[in-house]
């Protein structure tokens, strides 16, 4: 059980790290090349919102699995 918990924690950490890294990169790219993002009809941060929703949903699913497993073992 400890190993599964560690794996799930690593997955959540990886998702959050990827989201933060993507956000920093996207902001940096927007600051350097604003003319590219001016061509799009959506704001520059729209892609980051999509990734944020995805990371939140996956994290909630993993936390729910962890909660169910913890309750069944007790």
Q: How much is the pTM?
A: 0.82
33 DSSP assignment: -
Which uninterrupted H or E stretch holds 30? helix 2-32
Structural domains of the chain, count: 1
Give me the pLDDT at residue 9, please: 95
Residue pLDDT, tens place only, 8-51: 999 999 999 999 999 999 999 999 999 988 888 889 899 899 99
Rg (CA), the chain: 17
Query: Which residues constitute the domain of residue 62?
Result: 2-73
Phi, psi of 15 (to 5 degrees): -65, -45
Using CA atoms in the order 56, 27, 17, 51, what is the torsion angle rounded to 10 degrees?
A: 30
% helix / strand / coil in the chain, to the nearest 5?
A: 85, 0, 15
Q: What is the mean pLDDT of the chain?
A: 93
């Amino acid at each position: 059980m400890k190993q599964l918990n560690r794996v799930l924690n690593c997955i959540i950490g990886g998702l959050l790290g990827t989201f933060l890294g993507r956000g920093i990169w996207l902001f940096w790219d927007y600051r350097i090349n604003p003319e590219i993002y001016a061509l799009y009809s959506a704001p520059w941060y729209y892609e980051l919102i999509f990734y944020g929703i995805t990371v939140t949903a996956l994290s909630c699913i993993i936390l729910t699995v962890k909660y169910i497993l913890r309750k069944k073992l007790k």
